Amino acid sequence: MREWTIGVIGGSGLYTIDALEDVEYLVADTPWGAPSDTLLRGRIGDVRFVFLPRHGRGHRLSPTDVNARANIHALKAAGCTDVLAISAIGSLREELPPGCFVVVDQFIDRTVHRDTSFFGAGLVAHVSMAEPVCPRLAALVADAGERAGARVARSGTYLAMEGPQFSTRAESHLYRQWGADVIGMTGMPEAKLAREAELPYALIGMVTDYDCWREDAAHVEVDTVLAQLAANAATARSLVAELAVLLPRERMPSPIDTVLNQALITHLAHMDRAKAESLGPIVARVLAARGGGGV
């Protein structure tokens, strides 16, 4: 087996990955509640994967109701080393048409009704989000997308909106002026939480629509999104299989594996032990490194 265990968060239209072998379902529970669904653990070749459908099988959860803390905690507890998020996205740029895949490298977070951190009173951490995705994983994902036959844009800024309603036309124009390239409802706080969990994270979006900024095109409706997703789901699945081929045998350490060394600022003597205990696998490494093992 290679040293990677890739957590895959499947977005709208992606509720399973057929290529997984030796699969088992894991019922997970976390201090934040249950993740979106049972985890599907398996392998492709000699790479381990843990798959989680973001909205639950059957698409039961709205973007606001997706428990991103539970999802990331469950993937960390299942031994994931890295996380690949797959999402449906609207395009805010002419040159990113429906069908195109975008490897996101920046975010603007406009979500307002979500829990955005594992940390808080008694255990305070401030991780950097200047570079919110892992460049190594993102590059491999872009290569895998091309091998799967997709047209891939290797960079793009993702505007995370609260939803569940789509944007007004004025908002869509505003986000374009802000420099956003694509729009979705789920990339945040998922990316922030992955960083807090010391999990290198990459997000590949499948463009399903032009949102509503174009005067010459129909504005986004959910049936258009679903039709585009159906057309692209097979490519997304083969992207995952190609990623398994491309991952190097040895997983060199990433700086993201140890971000809490700097970011966790509460002194051991003043730490809320119960809070630290509830965080379990999120802080186990850094506390052990600081001599606070046993929490």
Ligand X SMILES: CSC[C@H]1O[C@H](OP(=O)(O)O)[C@H](O)[C@@H]1O
CB of 103 to ligand ADE, least distance (A): 16
Which partner in ligand ADE, ligand X, none is near 211 (CB below 5 to 8 A by kind)?
A: ligand ADE
Does 11 sit near ligand X (CB under 6 A)? yes
Distance CA 87, CA 94 (A): 19
Which of ligand X, ligand ADE, none sits in contact with 98, Cβ below 5 to 8 A by type? none
12 binds ligand X (CB under 6 A): yes
Where in 62-81 is the site for ligand X (CB under 6 A)?
Answer: 63
User: Helix or strand or coil: residue 185?
Assistant: coil
| 190 scored as a contact of ligand ADE (CB under 6 A) | no
Q: Is 145 in the site for ligand X (CB under 6 A)?
A: no
CA–CA dist 105, 119 (Å, integer): 24
Catalytic site residue from 82, 109, 143, 209: 209
Residues contacting 222, CB < 8 A, separation 6+: none
Whole-angstrom Cα distance, residue 162 to residue 184? 9
Assess 225 for contact with ligand ADE (CB under 6 A). yes
111's tokens: 């979500």
Q: Which two tokens stand for residue 143?
A: 């290569």
User: H or E stretch including 60?
Assistant: none
Q: Which is nearer to ligand X, 172 or 186 (CB)?
A: 186
The correct pick among 111, 208, 244, 295 for binding ligand ADE (CB under 6 A) is 208
Of residues 81-140, those binding ligand X (CB under 6 A):
87-88
Question: Is 166 a residue that touches ligand ADE (CB under 6 A)?
Answer: yes
Rounded to a whole number of angstroms, the minimum distance from the CB of residue 41 to ligand X is 21
Whether residue 209 lies in the annotated active site = yes
Cα–Cα dist 48/136, whole Å:
18
The two tokens of residue 294 are: 């046993």
Q: In the complex with ligand ADE, which residue's Cβ is closer, 191 or 220?
A: 220
* Residue nearer to ligand X on the CB measure, 31 or 163: 163
Task: Give the one entry of ligand X, ligand ADE, none that residue 36 binds, where binding means its C-beta sits below a cut-off of 5 to 8 angstroms depending on kind.
Answer: none
Instruction: Please report where in the chains the tokens 């690949």 appear, as a residue.
Output: 84
Report, in angstroms and rounded to the nearest whole number, the Rg of the chain calculated over CA atoms. 19
Is residue 204 near ligand ADE by the rule CB under 6 A?
A: no
Residue nearest to ligand ADE (CB): 90
Residue in this structure with the two tokens 């919110």, named with its chain if needed: 132
Burial 133-167 (b: 16+ CB within 10 A, else e): bbebbbebbbbbbebbebebbeebbbbbbebeebb
**Is residue 185 part of the contact set for ligand ADE (CB under 6 A)?**
yes
Q: Which span sits near ligand X by CB under 6 A: 178-186, 234-242, 245-253, 277-285? A: 178-186
